[in-house]
Structure 1
Amino acid sequence: MSEDIAVAAVASDADSPNGRLMRRATYAAVAVAGTLVVVKLVAYVMTGSVALLSSLIDSALDSAASIVNLIAVRQALQPADEEHRFGHGKAEPLAGLGQAAFITGSSVFLLFEAFNRLWDPQPVTQGWVGIGVMIFAIVATIGLVAYQKSVVARTNSVAVNADSLHYTGDVLINVSVIVSILLSTLAGFPYADPIFAIGIAAFLLWNAKGIFTDSLDLLMDRELEEEDRERILAIAREHPLVHDAHDLRTRSSGQQQFIQLHLELDRDLTLVKAHAIAEQVDRQIREAFPQADVLIHQDPVGIVEEHHDDLAYQDKVLEPGEVPKE
């Protein structure tokens, strides 16, 4: 793909249907999280439940993370410019690292609060208020998660997916808060409240680890999944005039994927013919990976270059001591 085409492809992201879906998903997350923060704060003041406090903290974190996501998605969808020729897609994993930091810090705070309550248990008051708030939170969160999942299925957005993981965990958290309030108020077991809070904090830390790992992989330009890499090579090798494909390199940046590879072609082909073959392979790869920017280099078959990273490939092409033909 030429540079002009690549820039045009990235530039279209902001106004594309996928771009609009991603922005709407971030707006919905901020609205839901903000609403839940307000109602849970009121419920915590009325009940004094530390488990409900943990849910309140989680919603506050979700609200902050969703605001960061909103900013990051808007930035990631900006078109490429002279200083960012590959676009701004890495704003998404940067937001993911910020979310992981938010979650880790709040989980540690929650653990301290829960262990204090284990040492000095406090009764939960007006438990039915807390239960009612949690039921409302569950219904709102399930609706948001369903919408986010549909957006992720269409866009494969890292930022929206990270937000969706938060809110999926929130459903479990809200259910556990209801159980802890029931055990504290009806069963007379005050330790249930801090015990459930500790479990929620551990769950949040586990989510933070996953978000951190996924974001770091994107920032460090980790290769695409092996299944995708094999599919790319298979597409390239299917062309009847391609002898082989090698030196495949892949990475992702937000919505954009970058694919580079070498094609082995007959050494007697004209430049025009070799270019036409490469364009055909390029088109077939982009049909399978619509968000990909593909760069293809043509090699005369039998030539071994110093940058080949596959020693087995070199052994296959030339016999020991054989000099490449000019």
Structure 2
Amino acid sequence: MAPGAELEGSASGLLAALDDQGARLVRRATYASVATAASLALLKLLAFWLTGSVSLLSSMVDSTLDAIASLFMLLAVRQAQSPPDAEHRFGHGKAEPLAALAQAVFIAGSALFIVVQAIQRISAPEPLAHPWIGVAVMVLSMGATFGLIRYQAWVLSKGRSLAVKADSVHYASDLLVNGGVLLALGLSHGLGWALADPMIAIAIALYVGRTAWRLIVDAVDMLMDRELPEAERQRIIALVGEEQEVKGFHDLRTRVAGPQVFIQLHVEFDGTLSLGAAHAITDRLEKRLSAAFGGAEVLIHQDLYGGGVGTSP
């Protein structure tokens, strides 16, 4: 075997191993989300039953929907990571933004439910019972949520996943939700302000609704094949520019489907360069771009330099 072929095979094997490791981490992150949300929902249900706090109820509903949405995410991640088949030759990566969109709808629904419950409590305020039980539950909830967010951030640092990003954004908002519940319990019990509980619940609902909107925008962008951010496009352009034999390029197009990045462009070669040499350079550039973007699928078309097209993105 030629040394170049051996190196190429080693590099391909390393990329495959890294991709598989990233897929396992994403699946573990979704397992952790489901387990954490389900456990907290049961704990908050018990706390609501003992205290009667509508803020705790809003947090319990949010955690229940978290568990359902995270379960959808788990199924979507498994589907997105399945290999291409005869009917889906580009893979199943868009299962992730579809699940993120569904999660955003769940989040918006929970915000609406919280508002309805809070308005009812404003019209008929009730004193809270056993508030310290609620405080203890919310402190425990905040600790568990913070630990999950840190783990998700670590997973995201190893690769790209809209599903994990959506979960992470949602649980980050949950920290604020839990902090609001603690504040509501303190004001209601410590200062006797009965309206603190429902008013803070409404503020929480507005923030949760804003989070839902941001997730909807991200999911729709991916479903509509939005281009990579300009900074990442400039990375592609810089890598192309490092190939001295490439005289120009045009029609650069990019998109993302779940964890998979797709890059397409035309590169231009001097007419004196042999077809074999141009193919070897293109193949090398495709591998460099793929490695730089986490195993991206790269398609490069070869054109003759000066054929009526200029160097452009």
TM-score by length of 1: 0.88
The 5-angstrom pairing of residues 300-311 of structure 1 reads 300-304=304-308
Distance 1:229 1:155 in 2: 18
2:112 equivalent to 1:108: yes
1:34-90 Cα shifts (integer Å, max 9, x gaps): 111111001101111111111011101111111001101111110111111111111
SS of aligned partner of 1:80: coil
Residue 286 (structure 1) shift:
2.2
Distance 2:112 2:38 in 1: 22
Residue 284 (structure 1) shift:
2.3
Residue of structure 1 aligned with 2:40, choices 33, 36, 39:
36
Residues 112-121 or 58-67, more deviating: 112-121
The 5-angstrom pairing of residues 116-265 of structure 1 reads 116-265=120-269
SS of aligned partner of 1:244: strand
1:137-162 Cα shifts (integer Å, max 9, x gaps): 11111111111111111122110111
Distance 1:162 1:277, change over 3 A: same
Distance 1:218 1:88 in 2: 13
1:198-244 Cα shifts (integer Å, max 9, x gaps): 01100100110111111111110000011111111121122111111
Letter aligned with residue 149 of structure 2: V
2:250 equivalent to 1:268: no
Distance 1:225 1:13 in 2: 27
Identity, in percent, stands at 48
Equivalent in the alignment of 2:291: 287
Structure 1 unmatched ranges of 5 or more:
306-312, 317-326
Equivalent in the alignment of 1:25: 29
2:92 equivalent to 1:88: yes
2:78 equivalent to 1:74: yes
Question: 1:94 touches 1:215 (CA, 8 Å); kept in 2?
Answer: yes
Distance 2:293 2:28 in 1: 24
TM-score by length of 2: 0.92
Structure 2 unmatched ranges of 5 or more:
1-8
SS of aligned partner of 1:243: strand
SS of aligned partner of 2:246: coil
How many residue pairs align between the two structures?
Answer: 301
Equivalent in the alignment of 1:53: 57
SS of aligned partner of 1:264: strand
Distance 1:283 1:72 in 2: 28
Distance 1:285 1:77 in 2: 21
What do you get for the CA RMSD once the two structures are aligned? 2.0
Question: 2:159 touches 2:294 (CA, 8 Å); kept in 1?
Answer: no
Residue 15 (structure 1) shift:
7.8
Residue of structure 2 aligned with 1:298, choices 294, 302, 306:
302
Residue 13 (structure 1) shift:
8.4
Give runs of ≥4 in structure 1 deviating > 4 Å. 11-15
